[in-house]
């Protein structure tokens, strides 16, 4: 962990606290695989959730450095596998089948990551080549242990640093835990894969393998085999004659299209989950973590990106205030100036000249200065945007994110914001209201009946009050009469 903190140039106090916590909890860890480099061995020993963190960092050599990034890429799909016999036993138990009867061939593990490993197999009945994904043994228990530690760390951070509460550490951990739990039930991943394949079917140059539902369950997922080169194997990509610049731009462009157009996107798009097909198509794999955006959030996100592209920092600031991302008591002009400091140095520079570490550090200062809280609904989007841009950079170091984003965002803006979009929204509203048309007479009668009943209750209450008043008055007269009579 000290290596990672050093890569981030973390303050000395944080490094001291990290070492103290590490010594305190070291006895809880495992030994790790001695064949791995020290950092990777440490992350593997700490648990699968820490491996996930390493996968994210592996996509950002501009933040952690080339050497550390190169080491961390091993975590994407080259973790130590578990035995083939264990995988076969799991498949036979979950699917109630005999592997050697259903498959004419079943390979040793060909890729192993933090949560599962993949085997190549051939279905005996059809001859189709498939990829069979099998969860690691005891993975659920391991993740529970990791998240207990994460929640403890989040509580310590919030307790020792009250200013960090605006970042909602525990809320972020809860969100992350929910995402990972989806990965631990491969039925949910199968559903996501099927939905993603349907929504991207017409995207040229982008493929999603089809599911085999009969051979999938909670701990097993089977889909078409996808032949291709891993996106982190740059030498083989070059040897195959692929245009890395075009591929890098397509990765970024399609991520934005899926997020804005569909509101449903792959939220774990590191190199280990992408292959390059022989024809140059991008093949997406591993759909355990997917992101969703509602229509309003997509429009806000598009307007923010478009404002940066147009260098309209005042409009970017206004969108943040309108969406409630910045407290209303802050100065909008000051916020626009702070955003200009972020945007201006990036434009006109090649990706290799931009220090994303410095940009991220300044963005953190801005969020603290203007009281911006972590938006849980945008965590997937923000995290994936960082990862995807890192993947695109690894394929083509001089990629310009803004140039790639411009046509995608402009198309979305043209289609989703303006008179045409307003008419379409009104039409959708009319359709929703039309569904209630057959019920309107009954709803009106019910409303009138309820109103009449309430009126009768009010009248009855009024009458009751009147009767009570007359009764009290009569009682008072009777008492007075009796008192007068007693005097006489």
Annotated active-site positions, please? 268
> Any idea what DSSP says for residue 262?
I
CA distance 252 to 274: 12
Per-residue CA distances from 101 to 106, 276, 357, 367 (Å): 11, 32, 53, 58
Cβ burial 166-182 (10 Å sphere, 16+ → b, else e): ebbbbbebbbbbebbeb
**And the tokens for 70?**
């190169």
Strands 206-207 and 282-284: parallel
Q: What angle do CA 269, 395, 192 make, to 5 degrees?
A: 15
Q: Which of 417, 391, 402 is nearest to 73 (CA)?
A: 391
Q: Which residue shows structure tokens 């969108």?
A: 319
CA distance 44 to 227: 28
Per-residue CA distances from 118 to 98, 405, 449 (Å): 18, 34, 64
Q: Which of 354, 343, 340 is nearest to 390 (CA)?
A: 354
**And the tokens for 211?**
């599911």
Residues whose CB is less than 8 angstroms from the CB of residue 226 and which lie 6 or more positions away in sequence, other chains included: 131, 207, 209, 275, 277, 283, 285
Residue 210: strand pairing partners:
none
| Helix (H/G/I), strand (E/B), else coil: 331 | coil
Q: What are phi and psi of 345, to 5 degrees?
A: -65, -20
**And the tokens for 61?**
């050599």
- Helices (DSSP H) in 223-290: which residue ranges? 234-239, 244-257
CA distance 295 to 272: 30
């Amino acid at each position: 962990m000290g290596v990672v903190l050093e890569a981030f140039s973390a303050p000395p106090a944080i490094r001291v606290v990290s070492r103290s916590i590490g010594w305190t909890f070291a006895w809880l860890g495992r030994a790790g695989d001695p064949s791995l480099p020290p950092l990777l061995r440490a992350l593997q020993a700490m648990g699968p959730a820490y491996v996930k963190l390493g996968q994210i960092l592996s996509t950002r050599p501009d933040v952690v450095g080339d050497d550390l990034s190169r080491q961390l890429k091993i975590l994407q799909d080259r973790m130590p596998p578990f035995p083939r016999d264990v995988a076969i036993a799991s498949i036979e138990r979950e699917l109630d089948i005999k592997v050697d009867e259903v498959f004419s061939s079943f390979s040793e593990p060909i890729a192993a990551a933090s949560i599962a490993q993949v085997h190549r197999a051939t279905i005996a009945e059809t001859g189709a080549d498939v990829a069979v994904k099998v969860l690691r043994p005891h993975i659920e228990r391991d993740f529970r242990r990791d998240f207990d530690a994460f929640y403890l760390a989040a509580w310590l951070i919030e307790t020792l640093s009250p200013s960090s509460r605006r970042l909602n550490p525990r809320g972020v951990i809860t969100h992350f835990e929910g995402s990972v739990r989806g990965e631990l039930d491969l039925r949910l991943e199968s559903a996501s894969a099927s939905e993603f394949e349907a929504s991207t079917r017409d995207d040229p140059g982008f493929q999603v393998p089809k599911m085999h539902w009969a051979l999938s369950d909670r701990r097993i997922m089977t889909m078409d085999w996808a032949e291709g080169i891993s996106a982190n194997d740059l030498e083989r990509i070059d040897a195959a004659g692929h245009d890395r610049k075009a591929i890098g731009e397509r990765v970024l462009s399609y991520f934005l299209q899926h997020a804005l157009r569909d509101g449903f996107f792959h939220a774990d798009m590191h190199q280990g989950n992408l292959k390059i097909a022989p024809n140059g198509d991008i093949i997406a794999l591993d759909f355990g973590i997917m992101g969703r955006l509602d229509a309003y959030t997509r429009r806000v996100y598009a307007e923010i990106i478009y404002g940066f592209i147009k260098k309209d920092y005042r409009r970017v600031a206004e969108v943040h205030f309108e969406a409630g991302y910045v407290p209303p008591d802050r100065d909008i002009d000051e916020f626009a100036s702070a955003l200009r400091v972020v945007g201006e140095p990036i434009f006109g520079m090649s990706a290799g000249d931009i220090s994303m570490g410095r940009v991220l550090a300044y963005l953190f200062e801005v969020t603290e200065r203007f009281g911006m809280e972590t938006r849980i609904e945008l965590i997937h989007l923000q995290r994936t945007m960082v990862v995807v841009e890192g993947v695109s950079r690894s394929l083509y170091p001089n990629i310009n994110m803004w140039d790639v984003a411009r046509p995608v965002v402009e198309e979305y803006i043209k289609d989703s914001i303006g008179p045409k979009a307003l008419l379409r929204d009104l039409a959708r509203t009319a359709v929703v209201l039309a569904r209630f048309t057959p019920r309107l007479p009954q709803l009106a009668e019910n409303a009138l009946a309820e109103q009449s009943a309430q009126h009768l209750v009010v009248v009855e209450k009024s009458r009751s009050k009147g009767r009570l008043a007359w009764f009290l008055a009569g009682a008072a007269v009777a008492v007075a009469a009796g008192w007068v009579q007693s005097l006489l």
